[in-house]
């Protein structure tokens, strides 16, 4: 049995989640995972060495270079071939800015300021929406009739409610979730177009999830959620049923180590 991959530690989520060439005829989308983004940020922008990057991300140097090379190939593909680049998903966890994480002093200061700001304003740290049907994660994002929305404060569920999508589907759901001030989505199968629409709205996607929705949210908060970092289910664009194949099959995610 293959050993589960170790979660990659990320300093902060990307501020910008989608990049597209101007007047491009092609509409192909390339997904750059958040951990791939982080290696490019640290090595190319912060000028860190392979060893420094490995320490900060809490993974091996070999893994760093594998991720980095994959990221550079995707970026080159977008630049050369005029494709849209979307930053979404990946096997990662957000660092808390403590002294052992390897972040620079300025990074730790950002974490501290954000935590104090959240407490002072009394706002929820996260707002998570889960595709919902009878207490379970609904497996077809574009056809979900309900979301269960959770307000998270101090890493715990503060409130929850089930809301109807009123028949909206696919791309329209990104606008619906933005109106609900959602910043994170947990779902089963989801198409590339929906992933891109959510990314454009600044919403983080955890696809390929299954099981009880309450448990899924708790697992996400604990860094234990099993999900697919590239939940590219083609069923929504190609007009066939997800029942013909396993959307989000073989999900994997953070091991919590």
Degrees to nearest 5, angle at CA 49 with 48 and 55 = 85
Partners of 5 in beta bridges: none
**How many residues are recorded in the chain?**
257
Q: Are 189 and 179 in contact (CB under 8 A)?
A: no
Q: Which of 56-65, 110-119, 144-153, 198-207 has the lowest mean pLDDT?
A: 110-119
- CA distances 84 to 24, 32, 135, 147, 198, Å, are 9, 10, 35, 28, 14
- Checking if the pLDDT of 180 tops 90, the result is no
Per-residue pLDDT band at 195 (split at 50, 70, 90)? confident
How many CB atoms within 10 Å of residue 250?
8
pLDDT tens per residue across span 147-172: 999 998 877 888 999 999 887 666 68
Measure the CA–CA gap between 141 and 20, rounded to whole angstroms: 24
Q: What residues does each domain of the chain span? A: 1-122, 124-257
Please enumerate, as own/partner, the contacts of 99-106 that have beta carbons within 8 Å and a separation of 24 or more: 101/9, 101/56, 101/58, 102/9, 102/52, 102/55, 102/56, 102/58, 103/11, 103/56
Q: Which of 4-18, 27-41, 168-182 has the lowest mean pLDDT?
A: 4-18
Query: Percent of the chain having pLDDT more than 90?
Result: 31
Measure the CA–CA gap between 131 and 188, rounded to whole angstroms: 8
Instruction: Single out the residue of 126, 127, 131, 87 nearest to residue 230, CA to CA.
Output: 87
Per-residue pLDDT band at 38 (split at 50, 70, 90)? very high
The highest-confidence range among 1-5, 21-25, 79-83, 95-99, by mean pLDDT, is 79-83
Which CATH code for domain 124-257?
Answer: 3.30.420.130
Q: What pTM, to 2 d.p., does this model score?
A: 0.47
């Amino acid at each position: 049995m293959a050993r589960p991959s170790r979660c990659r530690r990320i300093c902060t989520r990307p501020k910008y989640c989608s990049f597209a060439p101007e007047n491009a005829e092609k509409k192909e989308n390339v997904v750059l995972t958040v951990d791939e983004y982080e290696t490019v940020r640290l090595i190319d922008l912060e000028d860190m060495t392979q060893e420094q990057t490995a320490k900060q991300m809490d993974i091996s140097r070999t893994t760093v270079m594998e991720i980095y090379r994959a990221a550079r190939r995707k970026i080159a593909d977008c630049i050369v071939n005029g494709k849209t680049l979307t930053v979404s998903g990946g096997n990662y966890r957000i660092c808390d800015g403590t002294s052992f994480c390897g972040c620079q002093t300025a990074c730790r200061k950002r974490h501290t300021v954000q935590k104090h700001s959240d407490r002072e304003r009394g706002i929820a740290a996260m707002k998570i929406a889960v595709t919902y049907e009878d207490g379970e994660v609904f497996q077809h994002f574009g056809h979900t009739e309900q979301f269960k929305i959770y307000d998270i404060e101090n890493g715990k569920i503060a409130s929850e409610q089930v809301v109807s999508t009123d028949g909206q589907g696919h791309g329209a759901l990104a606008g619906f979730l933005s109106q609900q001030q959602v910043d994170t989505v947990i779902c089963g199968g989801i198409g590339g177009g929906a992933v891109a629409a959510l990314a454009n709205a600044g919403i983080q996607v955890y696809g390929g999830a299954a099981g009880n929705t309450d448990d899924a949210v708790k697992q996400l908060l604990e860094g234990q959620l099993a999900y697919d970092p590239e939940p590219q289910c083609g069923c929504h664009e190609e007009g066939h049923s997800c029942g013909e194949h396993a959307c989000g099959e073989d999900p994997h995610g953070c091991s919590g180590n």
